[in-house]
Structure 1
Amino acid sequence: MEPPPPPHRHKKCRTAEAAVPGGEEEEEAKDALISLPPDVLDGVLTRLGLRDAVRTSALSRAWRRRRARRWPPSTASSSAACPGRVRSFSAYVDKLTTRRAHDWILVLARRGVESLDLASPIHNHLAVHSSVFSCDRLAYLNLFACDIPPLPPGFAGFPNLRSLTLDHVWLRAGGEYQLEEIIENSPLLEMLVLSGIFIDGDDIINWVIRAPNLQHLTICSPNDYGWNLLDLPRLRSAVIDLWDYLGGRDFAEFLGKLLHVRKLHLFVSYQPSNGAKILETLPCTFDSLKSLKSLKLYMDFCELPAILTIFCLLRNAPNLEKLKIMITDNEQKVEANGVFQNAEWTGGMCANLQIVQITRISWLPNEMSFIELILSKASLLRTISVTHGDKCLMSNEDALSELLKYKRASPQAQILFKEPDNCDEHGGMVRIQSLNMGI
């Protein structure tokens, strides 16, 4: 469903705002970056992708003007209108340049454009012209905050498309079939990102993602649009964030299609609201993730669904070498102590596990029991790195003292402890304290 339009602004309101004495100067004074030399500022924008550059507009009007000068509509227009081939085209399309954008796409389709990146305001998204489906030389297509038109009759596909990113795009009812046809008729597609897809209609439609050359897949959606995976023999990495766990269907069957994935990011922090068959209710009968080497989970140890899910995944990933856990909640609601978790362990689990990273830990009993279990079972373990969160049940000293008491199956096992203020925004290691696990 299309979001409500933004409130209308009268011109005199904007004029009055701009006429406030000292308003612009005060705004720029709060922005320390804008005082840098112009060539440095242009260098910052040059190194940003289009969407990130657009987001700098939120800083101040000065950034909006500089971004507009860097990617002015006139420049985009002249690029589209220039004679000869146009290999790459990027544009931020606001309300004033929407009509011009339609002309650009018509011209680009005739000029054999190979890379097309269009972005628009999230609450005033661009209705993309149907001629985009005539750009048969496209290798890269990125659309952000756009309305996707229906496929034209006789759509021949994108024979050269290798990367397709649809981020916060809207499709009409039956758009699932449209996505299926686009993907299936892009035989060289290697990267597919579907993030924040919105499709009109309430019915779940049976459609499939079929891409024999696909190597990376991202699906991030608050809604169940009948996601089905089929024929992905070359898939090596995936990011899956499905809030509703595929409705009442079998989530384990869905994950079983990721048979060849080596790297998997999975969000398991949500509670099913519709009786879905999530992993913890199943006897783990789906095909093993035998190729999986690296697993990153966004989860918590506060309730049983997420706890049982991680054991289900570990049982089905016998060759897993690296496990990352980003904890999303610190209010423990059920007890899953060492006895409970040990009962979930089966022979062969974590036989190849070497590295474990846990971020935002609160030293909850369930969390500590999981660490103790991993230390006592993973015979090839080299390191467990831990970053505590904002709210901790015990002091770091007491927690580390407790950790050092745990038995370990690997004589090389170490704990790497890091303070959160020594981590970058992505949780990366900057300074660590290494504690050798003695016998």
Structure 2
Amino acid sequence: MMEAKQAAPDRLSSLPAELQDEILVRLDLRDAVRTSALSRTWRDLWKSLSVISLSFPFGTHPSVVDSVLLRYIGPRVSLFRICVDDACADRIDDWLIALSRYRVESIDMCGTLRSLGNFNLHSSIFSLGDLVSLLLKNCRIPPLPVGFPGFPALQKLVLAYLCVDFNEIHSILSMFTMLRSCHNLQNLKIESRHVSYESFEADWEFLNALWTDGMCANLQIVRMIDIISLPNETSFMKLILSKATLLHTLYVGAHPYDFDDHIIDMLKCKRASAQARVQFEVKILILMYLCKLFYCTSESGLYFIEKLDPLRKDNQHKTFAEVFYGPLRL
């Protein structure tokens, strides 16, 4: 009877632990978990990796995220990326609390809620002091904790479509605290929610008192979208113009009926940067405003609009300046 052939050595299982770890950290999460099927040695090895990247595709069931965060016992998360939809909105708090146990280097969270609007961000986000990159979209920022030191290691910050109430004093203070904590910030975008009143007026003197040396030292581009020239909006733009030494573009997207004394006053203010320019984008409805302004008859006004055809669908998102003269810079 022939002797049974000796089983071939399991070279994967005999690899040094450091090399196994190096292999796994180069895989995405799904492939790293699948290596558990290779052998008993590799089973659940991903749970104790020195660093793991957690990137969950859109539509991932919340239970999958729960399971991964519950089972991973390693020290470091290089990336946590997820699209927050209605199915997982109520799990965000628990996930951020769970992440606070690790050294998290990068967070990328984008809200895609249909029924709830922007999702609420948990205050535990401020405990992630090792963050190098932070991207937040469509969320509500909680009040900054007292004594918040900022993110000392942060190199990249992307904030898009956040809910910060610029009409409340505590929100204004929180925003300035955040700006002071982002020393390398180069591009800032603020979109108005069309609030028709201000419960607290933050004039230039008040905002100037909040400014500190070195604040927005690298700021180059500021975009103010859909403003309606409320005092707080124009005061903030005046402050940026007068303080940001590297600023080269202040982009103002406004409504045609909002070009009033506040805007004129802002344009006259002193600019800290010699290269700073203000670029206006006015919605296409300014044509009707101009017709009224110059007392055009309804017939001539309609003819004027039809002839230039600015209200065609392919022009809906173009500006008055783009359709007729090119960008308007002041």
The TM-score range, normalised by the shorter chain, is: 0.5 to 0.7
Question: 1:434 matched to which residue of 2?
Answer: 328
Summarize the Cα distance change of 1:283–1:420 in structure 2 as closer, same or farther, 3 Å threshold: farther
Question: 1:396 matched to which residue of 2?
Answer: 259
Question: 1:357 matched to which residue of 2?
Answer: 223
Distance 1:333 1:341 in 2: 16
Summarize the Cα distance change of 1:156–1:402 in structure 2 as closer, same or farther, 3 Å threshold: same
1:287 and 2:158 are equivalent in the alignment: no
Distance 1:296 1:357 in 2: 11
Question: 2:136 matched to which residue of 1?
Answer: 265
2:67 to 167, 178, 182: 178
Residue type matched to 1:178 in 2?
S
- In the TM superposition, 1:27-426 aligns within 5 A as 136=34, 163-167=55-59, 169-171=61-63, 177-181=66-70, 192-196=81-85, 198=87, 224-227=93-96, 228-229=99-100, 230-233=102-105, 235=106, 238-239=108-109, 243-246=119-122, 250-254=124-128, 256-258=129-131, 260-261=132-133, 264-265=135-136, 267=138, 269=140, 278-279=143-144, 282-288=146-152, 290-292=154-156, 294-296=158-160, 298=162, 299-331=164-196, 332-388=198-254, 395-396=258-259, 398-421=261-284, 424=317
1:366: how far off? 0.5
Distance 2:322 2:152 in 1: 35
1:296: how far off? 3.6
- Determine if contact 2:121/2:140 at 8 Å carries over to the other structure: no
| SS, match of residue 82 in structure 2 | strand
- Determine if contact 2:254/2:282 at 8 Å carries over to the other structure: yes
Moved more, 363-372 or 294-303: 294-303
- Determine if contact 1:169/1:197 at 8 Å carries over to the other structure: no
Q: CA RMSD in A?
A: 4.2
- Determine if contact 2:168/2:199 at 8 Å carries over to the other structure: yes
| SS, match of residue 380 in structure 1 | coil
Distance 1:318 1:388 in 2: 28
- Determine if contact 2:78/2:104 at 8 Å carries over to the other structure: no
- Determine if contact 1:376/1:407 at 8 Å carries over to the other structure: yes
- Determine if contact 1:253/1:286 at 8 Å carries over to the other structure: no
Distance 1:289 1:310 in 2: 19
- Determine if contact 1:289/1:317 at 8 Å carries over to the other structure: no
Summarize the Cα distance change of 1:182–1:317 in structure 2 as closer, same or farther, 3 Å threshold: same
1:170: how far off? 4.4
Summarize the Cα distance change of 1:189–1:412 in structure 2 as closer, same or farther, 3 Å threshold: closer
Summarize the Cα distance change of 1:397–1:373 in structure 2 as closer, same or farther, 3 Å threshold: same
Structure 1 unaligned blocks of 5 or more:
1-113, 116-131, 138-153, 200-219, 273-277
Residue type matched to 1:238 in 2?
D
Residue type matched to 1:169 in 2?
H
Distance 1:293 1:177 in 2: 26
Distance 1:266 1:405 in 2: 34
| SS, match of residue 307 in structure 1 | helix
Residue type matched to 2:59 in 1?
D
From the CA coordinates, give the structure whose radius of gyration is larger. 2
1:315: how far off? 0.3
Distance 2:266 2:120 in 1: 36
| SS, match of residue 282 in structure 1 | coil
TM-score with structure 1 setting the length: 0.47
Alignment: residue pair count? 250
Which one has more relative contact order, counting CA pairs under 8 Å at least 6 apart?
A: 2
Distance 1:177 1:268 in 2: 21
Summarize the Cα distance change of 1:239–1:314 in structure 2 as closer, same or farther, 3 Å threshold: same
More helix by share: 2
Cα deviation 1:47-95 (Å, max 9, x = unaligned): xxxxxxxxxxxxxxxxxxxxxxxxxxxxxxxxxxxxxxxxxxxxxxxxx
Tell me the percent identity. 26
Question: 2:304 matched to which residue of 1?
Answer: none
- Determine if contact 1:168/1:195 at 8 Å carries over to the other structure: no
- Determine if contact 1:295/1:320 at 8 Å carries over to the other structure: no
Distance 2:283 2:73 in 1: 45
Residue type matched to 1:179 in 2?
V
Structure 2 unaligned blocks of 5 or more:
1-26, 36-42, 112-117, 285-314
- Determine if contact 1:293/1:321 at 8 Å carries over to the other structure: no
Question: 1:151 matched to which residue of 2?
Answer: none
